[in-house]
Amino acid sequence: MKKKTNLKILKFPGNASELERRVEAILFSAEEPLDIKSIEEKLKTRADIKKILNSLESQYKNRGINLICIANKWSFRTASNLSKFMNLQINTKKKLSKAAIETLSIIVYHQPVTRSEIEEIRGVAFASGTLEILLELNWVRPSGRKNVPGKPIQYVTTDDFLSHFNLQKLSDLPNIEELTSAGLIDNANIDTSIFGTGKFYKEQIEEKKENIYSDIDDMLNQTLKDNEDKWYL
């Protein structure tokens, strides 16, 4: 004998007629408040829309979402006494300007780097908001001051920058040889020194050292194995 289970079915908001359900769906899916005429056009059925709206208004009266009428237009809204618990997060897409992309590239390959050093490499002064938008995106951040007269602020990339571009470390970025072979830059017309400074360069050097040490270990292990094989023979 099968054990009878008690299923709890949520009825939201209550026993509604078919027309009420349709009007409810129309209002939920609407991008803006609707007047009675607009609801009638979408419903495509003759009905007492005003009566249906009043019924739905009553059903939603004590819920977290209320049906309200403002300027003869109806819409569902969060209950006014719950508004303090509501937070709206808006994501907006921002297209980086050419200046911002160049600035980011310089910071990536030169960091830590000062504002004046960025301007010197680019050959032009900063446009208003160029560095600020990178700071707002949290792709770059201030990182101390350079020990020179005036002590200017230095800038470096952040973990958010690595995460956004799916990088585990800076040395995962392409170096000049890789960019040249991919046809993305012309080696003859670019100052290669920009790829030989800062944290990126240091990580590249450390990675090369690790690879060298790994190769040496493999070579020694293979040599020992060969000698052992010879001894047994």
Q: Mean pLDDT in the chain?
A: 75
Contacts of residue 111, defined as CB under 8 A and 6 or more positions apart, other chains included, come to 143, 154, 155, 156, 157, 198, 199, 200
H-type alpha helices, 140-197: 159-164, 176-181
Average pLDDT over residues 150-166: 87
Q: Is 126 helix (H, G, I), strand (E, B) or coil?
A: coil
pLDDT at 1 over 60: no
pTM for the predicted model, two decimal places = 0.46
pLDDT at 212: 44
Pick the closest to residue 53 from 31, 78, 71, 34 (CA basis): 34
pLDDT at 124: 80
Instruction: Indicate the CATH number for domain 18-79.
Output: 1.10.10.10
Write down the domain spans for the chain.
Answer: 18-79, 94-167, 170-228
Q: What type of residue is 159?
A: D
Same fold, 18-79 and 94-167: yes
pLDDT digits (tens, 9 = 90+) for 100-142: 888 888 888 888 888 888 888 888 887 768 888 889 888 999 9
CATH topology of domain 94-167: Arc Repressor Mutant, subunit A (1.10.10)
For the chain, percent of residues with pLDDT exceeding 70: 65
pLDDT at 142: 92
Pick the closest to residue 100 from 82, 75, 127, 80 (CA basis): 127
H-type alpha helices, 48-197: 49-59, 98-110, 115-122, 130-136, 159-164, 176-181
